[in-house]
Chains A and B, each alone.
Chain A
Amino acid sequence: MIQRIASIARHTLKESVRERVLYNLVVFALLMFGAAILVGSISVGIEHIIIVNLGLSSISVFGLLMAIFIGITLVWKEIDKRTIFSILAKPVRRWEFILGKYAGLMLTLMINTAVMTVGFYLALFYAKGSLETGDLIVLQAIYFILLQLALVVGLALFFSCTSTPVLSAVFTFCLFVIGNLLGDIRWFGEETGSALVMSFTSVLYYALPNFGNFNVISQTAHGQPVAGYLIWSNTLYVLLYLTLILSASILVFEKREFK
């Protein structure tokens, strides 16, 4: 079972590399070094902070774009090109296929993030002239970005099993935006004073993925570490939510008929 999932994951990774999705790394490198050189000359006192903010935001945005635009075609492409028939004709179960696809894209994103992290530290070293142990705090934010991407890939994969790529992209992106505003949505509900609206916004708050949980970029840019309990509880949250989304994806995919 593990072997089959790993084989699909490997194939997905190879496919992503073949499609040159890792080209974004070049843009990232240019952005980081450009910022490191430029910012020092046009701003005051934020040379280090802006490199951290820009680096982490770039890692997050590039990762998000990859997660959405590759994630939405993961299953759809196999169906569209009818390669799904040859895959499922082999001794591969449908749920193994879904988990393999998910693992493959996550692997791609992890490699991408790891390379960008190295690029980020190089830029930081270039700007500061040295690296300190305090700079390792940034890794906490990168871990949170990966958690966020894990959820986005899960959502994109789910929609890829149920809808067309364009609609999947729209749905995933909308959920990402709403997921970032859930705290405000619940607050608006409380402000109305209506029990019905409050219940509705509370249901939304717990049912939709809360991407606001992972926003620690600004905090780490100021060298403030993320509390340990937040790291563990967010990890648990993502594991639970992923179990939910992947189960739903498998459920939909198991029932799907291919013509």
Chain B
Amino acid sequence: MGDSTRTIRASCVLILGMSFLAIVPAQQRIDQAFSTQGNSGEFLYLPEGTSLRRLCLGHEGLLADIYWTRAVQYFGRKRIDQSPQFDLLGPLLRITTDLDPHLLIAYRFGAIFLAERPPRGAGKPHEALQLLRKGIVANPGYWRLWHDLGFIYYWDLKDYEAAARVYRAGSERPGAQQWMKVMAAAVATEGGAYNTSRLLWAQIYREAENEQIRRNAEEHLAAFKAQNDLGQLNLLLGDFVRREGRPASSWRDLTALGMLREVPRDPSGSPYRVGRDARAQLGPESKVDLKLLQ
């Protein structure tokens, strides 16, 4: 190999490397230019799942998976940003389920987070109901969607009559488990009661097919437990006042009298505290969110 060839090759490698390095700041500049133009709002390039389905040439399942992943990423990003706006969640779920009407996770996960109040969800229970009804039509053999539908009527819309009706209808589907009948009866007789609500969340927890739904149910169950604990602790604090003629200033007052064995802790492991009003409260480091029960 001659010197000139070697020089040309070395120059080419150098130019190639430099060009590649120069692309990075160039792209960053373009990104900056776009960001200074302001956010043009959220939009979908292809808003119709049925049209997309035709263009897929048989690969709609893969596209549905991509849209589902996009929906999950969108939801996750909004949750991290604590944004109350989930405008694209509904359309993304609609497109996903248009492309693959049998993608059950999209109905189940999607409906729960569409219905939940912001910032935990989109706060659109009616859209969630629509999504679940679509899922029931496409998957008539999958009775668990009736459970999700009943739950949204119960928890998000507080329509106990409709919830009981849905649970009853779901319990009559082939293969439906016995507890659907129990739910139908409990919702019909004790709609809105603590035990019924707890029972429903416990069932969501047991039925959860993925980690996020399970964690969400777990957080609700923790809130129920904490609410129950606070009630019990306030009764003890009332007893203390009656016995000692003064309000307790800390749990030590109660442990000293043997009314408590140790400092009580909430489900997240953080100790409860006695507030200035002498009522039991969650500790400052508690991870339990009682607002979930409102």
Q: Which residues of A contact B (CB under 8 A)?
A: 39, 42-46, 49-50, 52-54, 57, 60-61, 176-177, 180-181, 184, 211-212, 214-215, 217-219, 221-222, 224
A43 touches B61 (CB 8 A): no
Residue B60 at the A interface, CB < 8 A?
yes
Partner of A181 from the list B54, B102, B109, B212 (CB cut-off 8 Å) is: B54
* Total residues of chain B contacting the partner, CB 8 A: 22
- A44-B109, A49-B65 known; A218 and B102 CB under 8 Å? yes
Q: How many Å from the CB of B68 to the closest CB on chain A?
A: 6
B9 at the interface (CB under 8 A from A): no
- A218 close to B100 (CB less than 8 A): yes
| CB neighbours of A218 from chain B (8 A) | 60-61, 64, 100, 102
A43 with B65, Cβ < 8 A, contacts A57-B59, A217-B59, A222-B102 known:
yes
7 CB contacts below 8 A, A to B, read: A43-B72, A60-B58, A61-B59, A211-B57, A217-B58, A217-B61, A222-B103
Chain B hits for A44, CB < 8 A: 68, 72, 105, 109, 210-212
Kindly list chain B residues whose C-beta atoms are within 8 Å of the C-beta of A46: 65, 68-69, 103, 105
In contact, A43 and B69 (Cβ under 8 angstroms):
yes
Q: How far is the CA of A50 from the CA of B62 in the complex (A)?
A: 7
Chain B window 41-85, contacts with chain A (Cβ cutoff 8 Å), 1 for yes, 0 for no: 000000000000010011111101100110011000000000000
| Beta-carbon nearest neighbor of A223 in chain B | B102
Judged by a CB distance under 8 angstroms, whether B207 is at the interface is no
Contact of A39 among B60, B69, B102, B211 (CB under 8 A): B69
Could you tell me the distance between the alpha carbons of A53 and B68 in the complex, rounded to whole angstroms? 13
Output the least CB separation between A59 and chain B (Å): 11
A21 → B minimal CB distance (Å):
22
The distance in angstroms between the C-alpha atoms of A43 and B209, with both chains bound, is: 13
A57-B59, A211-B58 known; A45 vs B210 contact (CB < 8 Å): yes
Q: Are A49 and B61 in contact (CB under 8 A)?
A: yes
Chain B residue numbers with a CB within 8 Å of A215 are: 58
Give the CA-CA distance A49 to B104 in the complex, in Å: 11
A53–B62 touching, CB < 8 Å: yes
**Least CB distance, B16 to chain A, in whole angstroms:** 23
Q: Is the CB of A214 within 8 A of B58?
A: yes
User: Which residues of B lie under 8 Å from residue A42 when comparing CB positions?
Assistant: 69, 72-73
* Shortest beta-carbon distance from A181 to chain B in Å: 7
Tell me the minimal C-beta distance from A152 to chain B in angstroms: 12
For the complex, what is the distance from the CA of A52 to the CA of B64, rounded to whole Å? 13
When distances are taken between beta carbons in the complex, the residues of chain B under 8 Å from A176 are: 57
Q: A42-B73, A44-B72, A45-B209 are in contact. Are A53 and B58 (CB under 8 A)?
A: no
Point out the residues of chain B lying under 8 angstroms from A43, CB to CB: 65, 68-69, 72
Is there contact, CB below 8 Å, between B62 and A54? Answer: yes
Report how far A221 CA is from B65 CA in the complex, Å. Answer: 11
The 6 closest A-B pairs by CB, nearest first: A218-B61, A215-B58, A45-B105, A43-B69, A53-B61, A53-B62
Closest chain B CB from A11 CB (angstroms): 32
Interchain CB contact under 8 A, A57 and B62: yes
Chain A residues within an 8 Å CB radius of B61: 49, 52-53, 57, 217-218, 221
Give the docked Cα–Cα distance between A184 and B54 (Å): 8
Instruction: Give the residue name and chain of the B residue nearest to A58 (CB).
Output: B62
B59 contacts which chain A residues (CB < 8 A)? 53, 57, 60-61, 217
How many whole Å from A28's CB to the nearest CB in chain B?
A: 14
The CA-CA distance from A181 to B100 in the complex, in Å, is 18
What residues of A have a CB within 8 angstroms of the CB of B69 in the complex? 39, 42-43, 46, 50
CA of A222 to CA of B73, assembled, Å: 22
Q: CB-CB < 8 A to A53: which residues of B?
A: 59, 61-62, 64-65
Asked if residues A50 and B65 are in contact (CB atoms below 8 Å), the reply is yes
Which residue in chain B gives the minimum CB-CB distance to A220?
B61
In the bound assembly, the distance between CA atoms of A180 and B62 in angstroms comes to 16
In this complex, the member of A57, A60, A212 whose beta carbon has the largest number of chain B beta carbons within 10 angstroms is A57
Instruction: List the A side residues contacting B65 at CB < 8 Å.
Output: 39, 43, 46, 49-50, 53-54
* Extra pairs beyond A53-B59, A53-B65, A218-B100 (6, CB < 8 Å): A44-B105, A50-B65, A57-B59, A60-B59, A177-B57, A218-B64
- Chain B nearest CB: distance from A96 CB in Å? 34
Q: Which residue of A lies closest to B65 (CB)?
A: A50
**Chain B residues whose CB sits within 8 angstroms of the CB of A217 once the complex forms:** 58-59, 61-62
- Cα–Cα, bound, A52→B102 (Å): 14
